[in-house]
Structure 1
Amino acid sequence: MTAVIAVLHAEDVALEFISVLREHADRDVRVLIGQAGASVNLPGGLSLRERLELLAPAVEPGGNTADLPTPDEVAALLGESPGEVWTHSPADHRIRRARFGWTVSRAVPSLPVTYSVGDNPFLQTVPGKAVAVTGAEAEAKIDFINRRAGELLRSRVADRLVTTDRVPAVERFFIADAARANRLYALISSLGEDAAVADDPWEFGRSAYESARLDATAAWVARWCSPQDGPLVEVGACEGELTRRLAGKGYRVQATEPNPRFRARLTERFPLGPEGGVEVLAESLEDLAARRERPAAAYLLIEMLYYDQEPALLDDLPTDLVLVALESGQLNERVWPWLRGQSTWRVAERVELAPPTLEPVCDGLAYLRKRGSRGLVLARAGRAG
């Protein structure tokens, strides 16, 4: 059975999968090129340079916008029963490569796929296999890029730019089934709609860090509002881990979630509507500010001002109290400059809700730095207390 290397761009074979060609030096290897929707056969017995030369016509330095193939289209290109499949990590920081690797995992859901660790400065994937390339193989990588993909050394497209760290001297790989690939892709897609492809992508329900952070956040809310003060509007409630804690303390919560997949899970968790203490709504922060239809004791913006919302939207929220929680870097870059230039809100409290920590994710398949959480209580100017 044929080994298949499924890559987004032809040059990715030279950059990340040279050791796979060594492992299959005497066997045919088929390369599936996602950007082109095509495949190239690399016969066994050829030299490394000869095999790479077969890929040269497929290098397209300027291309990075074509529609990616669907899982069904990838499955058709793979054909029946590929012996081995190698592809990009679903957690690659270059999101189109991550999406392609995720698509490959869905195309062969019954087959464990081997993924290149790839490029991600924020997430460390624990490799099951690490192979040092030889001097000759390093020369082959360099030669192929210089001769056949030299434009990529000065590409203005960040994901296509070939930098030294993207020409690794040690190629690292891990094996994961489709379910774990799904979780990795959801995690790397945390600021986009695809974050919802997996249940609880941030592991709020299983992470010691997230549990402590959410407990501290709920206690912080309780110091500033009592259930008798009126409803709370929780903006961007995701799947409801903070919502659950607040409802358990007796609060009436209007939990808003514009992502339809997250909102469906939120509704399943709190099916009774406002009679049960939780009302699930679709509004975004922009909607809430524009409509001004939901007066509340406080608005909770907990770890959700990461999506380029304008902080000035807070001025139009029908409340005198807003609790904002973010990691300190985002507070310093986005919130504090805005606060210093306005007079509508005063800072009533600053608090650390959770310190930064290193934590494993995806059942130990990877680890990352959780950036911590700091809270600001913003009281509308003139409000007592």
Structure 2
Amino acid sequence: MIGDRGAMAAVIAVLHAEDVVLEFASVLRRHADRDVGVLVGHSGARVTLPGGLSLRERFELLAPLVRAGGNTEALPTPEQVAAWLDGPPEEVWTHSPADHRIRRARFGWIVSRAVPALAVTYSVGDNLFLQTVPDEAVAITAPEAEAKIDFINRHAGELLRSRVPDRLVTTDRVPVVERFFAADATRANRLYALISSLGEDAAVADDPWEFGRSPYEADRLDATAAWVTRWVSPADGPIVEVGACEGELTRRLAGKGYAVQATEPNDSFRDRLIAHAPSGAEVSSESLEDLAEDGKRPAAAYLLIEMLYYDQDLALLDALPTDLVLLALETGQLNDVVWPWLREQSTWRVAERVELAPPTLEFVCDGLAYLRKRGSRGLVLTRNPVPTGNGDV
């Protein structure tokens, strides 16, 4: 229940109280004569903003709920949010599951799961990498902008100098145009998985990177499989694919006759990989660290394809039981991480550099958003001979 007025016609569910002021002022305008419920996710606080009050008067009711901290509390579960709502309202407004501020994204995703029968309306919010196509863009009037600024200066001034990036209030986070889109729980799930691509939550949706439906990803994977065939043949022995995810590359290689040992430490991805594993593929749970430590999978080649994004120690490659490693990454990661390591070591030499896919702009989530796919470049590493100690190699 929001406040003591029962289920609301409209509820704005936000992670922090000031988010209503920053991103949802136009929703209060829309419902100027109707009560609007507010649910603050980090604390579970609830308040009713009565209809008929001015925007400034409604904002003032939020002031006691503003806290400069509150960025570390455990987020509520979907069941808790559903209980707080006390029955689904007519409208629910919340954060985008693709917000770059990951706790807000997760809270928006939680809200979508709390009311799965509703098409929730999301604020586009803050995202550096993803452009969400809005269903509606509402310009804020000068008096409304003044009300926003006045509230932040008087009640959330600490956030103007916050050292927590997600809490810092910057000019672009006080938008003069508020943008919104509607999505059902399934599409919200896909958006959240996409923005969580470097964390465990990436697995909440099947194929979060759209390997199976993206023209860019299909071309990249086809080019990668063809690249592998130029350096190792099925007759050379098994190949180990590290971080195989759900197996799109695995299936391509197995279809070419390779004995693929596909490893995937994420339980959800591995379950999907096993469910669709082709004949000739073996699936296991080892991480790169496990493979290097155990040394139990000698192979004609190890494939590290688009998986060195998780701060792995590249010295682990030295312990892999193979003389051939094919790795692929986007150019920035190669330049910032891989090339500096290569220049400082003597175990491997670069036998080939190749562009597997150029950068491109592409729609995702059935046209709900678009982003820049960063491209993929491959390096072939061959192990240098070990000196014998008598001057020969």
| TM-score grouping bracket, smaller chain normalisation | over 0.9
Alignment pair present for 1:328 and 2:331: yes
Separation of aligned partners in 2, 1:8 and 1:81: 19
- Tell me the distance in 1 between the aligned counterparts of 2:46 and 2:268: 34
CA RMSD of aligned residues (A): 0.8
2:323 maps to 1:316: no
In structure 1, distance between residues paired with 2:29 and 2:272? 46
For residue 346 of structure 1, what is the aligned residue in structure 2? 349
Helix, strand or coil: the match of 1:55?
helix
Q: Deviations over 1:169-195 (max 9, x none)?
A: 100000000000000000000000010
Q: Report the alpha carbon displacement of residue 83 of structure 1 after superposing the two structures with TM.
A: 1.1
- Per-residue CA distance 1:133-182 (angstroms, 9 max, x = gap): 00011111111111000000111111001111111110000000000000
Residue of structure 2 in register with 1:243 after alignment: 250
Deviation beyond 6 Å, 4+ runs, structure 1:
none
Aligned to 1:34, which of 18, 31, 41? Answer: 41
Look up the equivalent residue of 2:214 and give its one-letter code: S
Percent of pairs with identical residues: 81
Q: Which residue of the partner structure matches residue 61 of structure 1?
A: 68
Distance 2:374 2:367 in 1: 18
Give the CA deviation at 1:270: 1.6
Aligned partner letter, 1:287: D
Preserved CA contact (<8 Å) 1:353 1:374: yes
TM-score (ref. length: structure 1): 0.98
> Which position in structure 2 is the counterpart of 1:365?
368
Q: Which amino acid aligns with 1:72?
A: E
Instruction: Report the AA paired with residue 147 of structure 2.
Output: A
Which of 156, 164, 173 does residue 171 from structure 2 map onto? 164
Q: TM-score, normalised by structure 2?
A: 0.96
Q: Which of 366, 381, 384 matches 1:381?
A: 384
Partner residue, 2:275: 268
1:215 to partner: Cα distance: 0.1
Counterparts of 1:34 and 1:372, CA distance in 2: 37
Unmatched 5+ residue regions in structure 2?
Answer: 1-7, 387-393
The 2-side partners of 1:68 and 1:361 are apart by: 27
Cα deviations by residue, 1:235-294 (Å, 9 ceiling, x for unpaired): 0000000000000000000000000000000011127xxxx3101000000111111110
**CA distance in 2: counterparts of 1:107 and 1:163, whole angstroms:** 30
Secondary structure of residue in 2 paired with 1:234: strand
- The question of whether the paired residues in 2 share the 8 Å contact of 1:38 and 1:77 is answered with no
Work out whether residues 355 and 373 of structure 1, in 8 Å CA contact, stay in contact via their aligned partners in 2.
yes
State whether residues 88 and 117 of structure 1, in contact with CA within 8 Å, keep that contact through their aligned partners in structure 2.
yes
Asked if structure 1 preserves the Cα contact closer than 8 Å seen for 2:15 and 2:104, the reply is: yes
Task: Give runs of aligned pairs for residues 189-204 of structure 1, distance below 5 A.
Answer: 189-204=196-211
Amino acid at match of 2:217: E
Tell me the distance in 2 between the aligned counterparts of 1:322 and 1:368.
30
Return the letter of the residue paired with 2:10: A
3-state DSSP of counterpart to 2:355: strand
d(CA) in 1 for partners of 2:340 and 2:173? 36
Distance 2:284 2:199 in 1: 19
Deviations 1:279-336 (A, max 9, x none): 1000000111111110000000000000110111111111000001000000000000
Supply the distance in 1 between the matched residues of 2:157 and 2:376 (Cα, whole angstroms).
43
Number of the residue aligned with 2:309 = 306
> Are 1:132 and 2:135 matched, yes or no?
no
Q: Is the 2:82–2:88 contact (alpha carbons within 8 Å) kept by the matching residues of 1?
A: no
Q: Distance in 1 between matches of 2:190 and 2:246?
A: 15
CA distance in 1, matches of 2:45, 2:261: 49
Structure 1 residue 173 and structure 2 residue 180: aligned? yes
Partner Cα separation in structure 2 for residue 380 and residue 98 of structure 1: 43
Moved more, 306-315 or 322-331: 306-315
Kept in 2, the 8 Å contact 1:218–1:245? The answer is yes
1:26-105 matches, within 5 Å, as 26-105=33-112
1:324·1:377 contact (CA, 8 Å) conserved in 2?
yes
Give the number of aligned pairs. Answer: 379
